């Protein structure tokens, strides 16, 4: 009688926690995901594993569509909105797709999960005058070391006039600035994608002025803290809030809102949507299209100016 050959499902039987570990390693090694992304996926899956354990599920093959729907129902009852729940579903889909493609499971229960409808929200953004007020505050905030004022101005303007993400800003080096071509190389964009951002001449001047305060240049990081090392997120958060408080604007201000503001200013200046997509580093133009809703009034004015006889 022939001996049945064991398949991978039987040979590689692991706990759910071990499968999660393999998935996170895959994200790091194969997908080159950022530490922040890996941490976020890990937290979502740790939460899912704990919930499944509360249902008495300890084997990955025991996870069903109803058990995952029960998890999402519990999250909704806990007060999570459509955006947060959509992210949790995306995490579960990615995890179970990985298990299925790796032949760790026979059936993928996450395939039948449906994303909740998200309300269409127009991004909050600052006007040109409000951004200028923020720059004014950066110039007048109390400083503790030479070059801090120039750094603060460069920091705010790189967010508001170059549309950088916070993580991109903090990872910049002086080698990324081309003063001759007036461009900035963003090496660590979303998904570790590189892009070149054109710089306004005024921003180039501000960066040059800041660079003069850094000689002799002992740290390659573009932005540094009071310890003369790379500017870290906690220090950035503290200084950014200090500047925002001094500006005393009536709107909520975050680094990402400054990114929205830059997109709005570009649209008002006549830039087309594809150019804005390239400058912001959006992988999908649908992420950029939302800015069209922000300036619908301007678009109406453009249509009304058409000479139709």
The structure tokens 């006007």 sit at 127
Cα(63)–Cα(53) distance, integer angstroms: 10
At how many degrees (to 10) do helices 35-54 and 82-101 cross?
90
User: Long-range pairs for 62-71 at CB < 8 Å and ≥24 separation?
Assistant: 63/16, 63/109, 64/109, 65/109, 65/112, 65/113, 67/109, 68/92, 68/109, 68/110, 68/113, 69/113
200 C-beta neighbours (distance < 10 Å), count:
12
Q: What is the largest distance, in Å, between two alpha-carbon atoms of the chain?
A: 90
Cα dihedral 87→19→34→237 (10° resolution) = 60
Cα(92)–Cα(111) distance, integer angstroms: 9
Query: Interior CA angle at 80 toward 76 and 85, to 5°?
Result: 80
**What does the block give as tokens for 153?**
């101005």
DSSP-derived 3-state class of residue 259: helix
Centroid of chain to Cα 297: 28
**Hey, CA dihedral for 102, 100, 39, 55, is it positive or negative?**
negative
Reference 69, options 24, 111, 21; nearest CA is: 111
Active-site residue list: 165, 190, 256, 259, 282, 291
């Amino acid at each position: 009688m022939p001996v049945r050959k064991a398949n991978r499902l039987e040979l590689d039987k692991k706990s759910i926690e071990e499968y999660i570990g393999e998935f996170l390693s895959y994200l790091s090694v194969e997908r080159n995901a950022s530490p922040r992304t890996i941490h976020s996926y890990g937290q979502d899956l740790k939460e899912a594993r704990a919930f499944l354990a509360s249902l008495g599920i300890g084997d990955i093959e025991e996870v069903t569509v109803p058990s995952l729907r029960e998890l999402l129902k519990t999250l909704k009852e806990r007060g999570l909105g459509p955006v947060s729940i959509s992210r949790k579903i995306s995490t579960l889909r990615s995890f179970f797709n990985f298990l299925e493609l790796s032949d760790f499971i026979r059936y993928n229960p996450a395939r039948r999960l449906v994303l909740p409808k998200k309300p269409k929200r127009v991004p909050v953004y600052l006007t040109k005058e409000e951004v200028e007020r923020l720059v004014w505050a950066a110039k007048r905030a109390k400083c503790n070391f030479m070059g801090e004022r120039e750094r603060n101005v460069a920091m705010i303007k790189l967010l508001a006039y170059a549309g950088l993400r916070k993580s991109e800003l903090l990872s910049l080096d002086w080698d990324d600035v081309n003063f001759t071509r007036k461009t900035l190389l963003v090496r660590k964009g979303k998904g570790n994608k590189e892009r070149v951002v054109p710089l306004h001449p005024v921003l180039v001047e501000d960066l040059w002025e800041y660079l003069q305060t850094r000689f002799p240049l002992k740290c390659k990081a573009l932005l540094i803290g009071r310890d003369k090392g790379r500017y870290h997120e906690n220090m950035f958060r503290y200084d950014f809030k200090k500047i925002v408080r001094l500006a005393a604007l009536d709107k909520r201000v975050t680094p990402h809102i400054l990114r929205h503001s830059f997109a709005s200013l570009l649209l008002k200046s006549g830039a087309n949507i594809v150019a804005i997509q390239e400058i912001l580093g959006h992988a999908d133009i649908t992420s950029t299209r939302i800015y069209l809703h922000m300036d619908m009034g301007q678009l109406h004015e453009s249509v009304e100016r058409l000479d139709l006889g």
